[in-house]
Structure 1
């Protein structure tokens, strides 16, 4: 059985990114793991080097803060490397801000934009350029159900990811590249804890393994938008019918 190639995952040490790394290793991919925490990166890499159908695998680590343009450039260079091709890029790294727009420092808002939009754009550019040239490859960009709702700069950034993904999927499918945008709802990860927000309970909260399993199944099918969970597909459907002013009432829905 031929190898599915190398997958690069950003934000790979926790939550959805870690689950992507685990499931892709289980599929036989070699991995390039990207995150800020070097110690956690090495720990995850060691865990994954011996997993998968063929046993030992190659797992590289790249410690990088994607909000720093110089560090981001190092990840771009790895994605673009023709001698060590990356067959799948998972743009997962992200964070949220607890306060409302005017209560946040503008530099924090800039960093949010840099990680959620600029890094996704630049890594997608590097990936699509190399993959379209080879005639094969894929990109999974992790967005959010928040992209369908009017709820501040986080949602606005994710809306950019959705629109970009829709366009890129159509543009590069004829050249052998699959682009899928994953839009999870509430997922049981460290995301809310890092924001200083208590994680909730109930039917809206999904496990990372379910979210990633659905995303990879949708990617395999060539789907442009992946929304795991019937409850969230219903919410997304409702956003097409409910006026934006009414949707603003539901500010608590949609952070991944």
Structure 2
């Protein structure tokens, strides 16, 4: 069948260029992500049973970058993606993870086969899909959750109440970002017009947290990282993320990435 979706930045050159151009200090991007995952690991280890008792889903796995990390918590993983090119790379590179069975499913999230998962990971998918698809994606992930499931949801976030939209282009080996309005984002992401660009949305975290909570999830923890220089308030030292997350006035204005950790509410 035809690809349900093709991620425009197939080889991730655009993302690499954006990181290089936007880092507030050399090495910030990697150190920020490493610190965020270290915090996430502490909470996941406390919430999940031993990996042999955990069935996991990496929904929208792309090239499989997170699969070795997911395998720390689960010996049985389903990895899905709607882009066959990227899924084939995941199959090539991550089929053989020691002590782990990985099943690959070529599917959009809304069309995933019925199953019950104890750990659900969805990383940076919802900011690249049509806005009307986000709620069905969240509902389908909820349908696939076991009664005591844990969910990890990553996405690009905006400042509170200031959702933003953009298109990223790769030009002459560098990335260019064009800020657009909601209508233009929707036009490109739904492929009503053909544009050689990666559409993205900075989602208001307060709105998304409210929607996920209404589906029967309780948020255990959240952490904002990869904060752009525009909203970093000039903080460039090693404690940048800690200061921003610990200061409500700064956190409310932050644009960057966010990881949220959820636990299924009993009998929800």
TM-score by length of 1: 0.50
Unpaired runs of 5+ residues, structure 2, are: 1-49, 165-181, 183-200, 229-234, 258-268
Aligned to 1:138: 150
Flag the structure with higher helix content. Answer: 1
Ranked by relative contact order (alpha carbons within 8 Å, sequence separation 6 or more), the top structure is 2
Q: Return closer, same or farther for 1:12/1:56 CA change in 2, 3 Å cut-off.
A: same
Q: Return closer, same or farther for 1:62/1:180 CA change in 2, 3 Å cut-off.
A: farther
Report deviation, 1:91.
2.5
User: Does residue 122 of the first structure (1) align with residue 112 of the second (2)?
Assistant: no
Report deviation, 1:229.
3.3
In the alignment of these two chains, the number of paired residues is: 167
- Of 122, 143, 147, which aligns to 1:91? 122
Flag the structure with higher strand content. Answer: 2
Alignment of 1:160-175 (within 5 A): 160-167=207-214, 171=216
Q: Return closer, same or farther for 1:10/1:90 CA change in 2, 3 Å cut-off.
A: same
In 2, the alpha carbon distance for the partners of 1:180 and 1:144 equals 19
Residues 169-193 of structure 1: per-residue CA shift (max 9 Å, x gap): xx556xxxxx5565543289xxxxx
CA contact (8 A) 2:58 2:79 kept: yes
CA contact (8 A) 1:31 1:58 kept: yes
Runs of 4+ in 1 over 6 A off after TM superposition: none
Q: Return closer, same or farther for 1:88/1:25 CA change in 2, 3 Å cut-off.
A: same
In 1, the alpha carbon distance for the partners of 2:221 and 2:130 equals 19
TM-score by length of 2: 0.48
Unpaired runs of 5+ residues, structure 1, are: 67-71, 98-110, 174-178, 189-201, 206-227, 248-252
Aligned to 1:254: 255
Q: Return closer, same or farther for 1:143/1:93 CA change in 2, 3 Å cut-off.
A: closer
In 2, the alpha carbon distance for the partners of 1:2 and 1:96 equals 30
